[in-house]
Amino acid sequence: MSNISLIIRREFNERVRKKSFIVTTLLTPVLMIGLMVAPALIMQFSRGDTKHIAVIDESGLVAPQLQDDEELVFEPCTLGVEEARRELTDVFGILCIGSDIVENPNNVRFYVNSSSSLVVESNITGQIEEIVKTEKLKSYHIGNLREILDEVRTRVAMQTFRNDKSQEEDSRTQSPIVATVLGYLLGFMLYMFLLIYGSMVMQSVIEEKNSRVLEVMVSSVRPFDLMCGKILGVALVAVVQILVWGVLIGFVGGVVVPHMMPADVLVSAQAAQGGMSDVAGDLDPELLQAVAAMTDMGYIFKLFGFLLLFVFGGYLFYSAMFAAVGSAVDNVQDASQLQLPITLPIILALLVMMAVIKDPNSSLAFWGSVIPFTSPIVMMARIPYDIPWWQVVLSLGVLYASFVGMVWLAAKIYRVGIFMYGKKPTFKELFRWMRYRY
């Protein structure tokens, strides 16, 4: 154990003391927030030039009701269709609406002078559909029809409660929108950690093998202890990074957010968090649930506690395989072929996670969160949905038990591979190494 502890300290100190670790630890939350905000910013700044569309309306009903916006400007045109197509080459397109548009909604043609897009055509067809619908409703001779429709339009905000919990417990479920966002974030974090830190172990083994450092080290320490020390040392680096993120997010949620939120929103969110159903008023329940989740320190630390457990277990499970691959090759290029069977389950887990979020209680969700190759990512995506505790315990138990077996198999490859040079082994040779007796 003293040898393992020395290797753990060496691997840990070598990475934590680097400036790159400090920078990435502090900037990664900012980058993740930026990735969340980026799509909205891209949509905001991706609007093209204003497009002018000439409208030839034979019905006389649609053109006066078309609404201009920042992207489209509709201009009535009195020319004939063929004449407009010849002369109006400076506009984006020519919209022709038939005289029987109400009876025949398909009698619409759009001639463009350049490439069109789905957004533009959806905007046009959406407006025409609303206009035709209004014209059809007018045939019923109802006065103030538009005002009536606006008045009866209603949005229902449903609050969901767990019926399988006792009355003393908080039976309010997490908002589906909040749970979905958290599920995606936590699942992608596991995906990132497994790939980055697993590859880090593999590259470290390859570098030490090329420099012949391993040959010196195995003269005083067993290959199994060397592999375990390297894996656990890098694992502690991941743990430290998650703890720093947990403190930062806890500080933002407990100190920054309450000072930025209006008092009535914060009070309603705290009341909603306590299970009261009549405090929301006119406020959006989804907003209250989001604020309640961001300011609930117990909930935040519970999520980061589970994140630590699954990152640690998932990393140990996969890093043993990455270490075995690193010991079997001489350079990163040769590792790509042997690395593929390891990365495929991680990618598969990400795909399963996206399907599981739609139904976190399905059979696919259960087995995906139990099988150790996919359980770290899938289970972390399910935890925000408040799944039964026994499933979380079962997933952790199977994951950590599988880690022990995987380390035992990987160690057999590792103790042979670190002495092999100049040849990239095949999968058949790796299986033969695992059958050796020591």
Specify which residues 74 forms β-bridges with.
53
pLDDT in tens, 172-210: 445 667 777 788 888 888 888 888 888 888 888 887 777
- pLDDT-derived band at 159, boundaries 50, 70, 90: low
What is the distance between the alpha carbons of residues 228 and 205, in angstroms, rounded to a whole number?
Answer: 12
- The larger pLDDT score, comparing residue 184 to residue 395, is at 395
Residue with tokens 């899938």: 378
SS3 label, residue 222: coil
Closest C-alpha to 29, from 240, 241, 232, 272: 241
What is the distance between the alpha carbons of residues 206 and 415, in angstroms, rounded to a whole number?
Answer: 14
What is the distance between the alpha carbons of residues 294 and 273, in angstroms, rounded to a whole number?
Answer: 11
pLDDT in tens, 265-321: 555 555 555 555 444 455 555 556 666 666 666 777 788 888 889 988 898 889 888
pLDDT in tens, 337-355: 778 888 899 999 989 988 8
For the segment 96-111, the average pLDDT, to the nearest whole number, is: 88
Residue with tokens 């030839």: 56
pTM of structure? 0.67
Average pLDDT score, the chain: 79
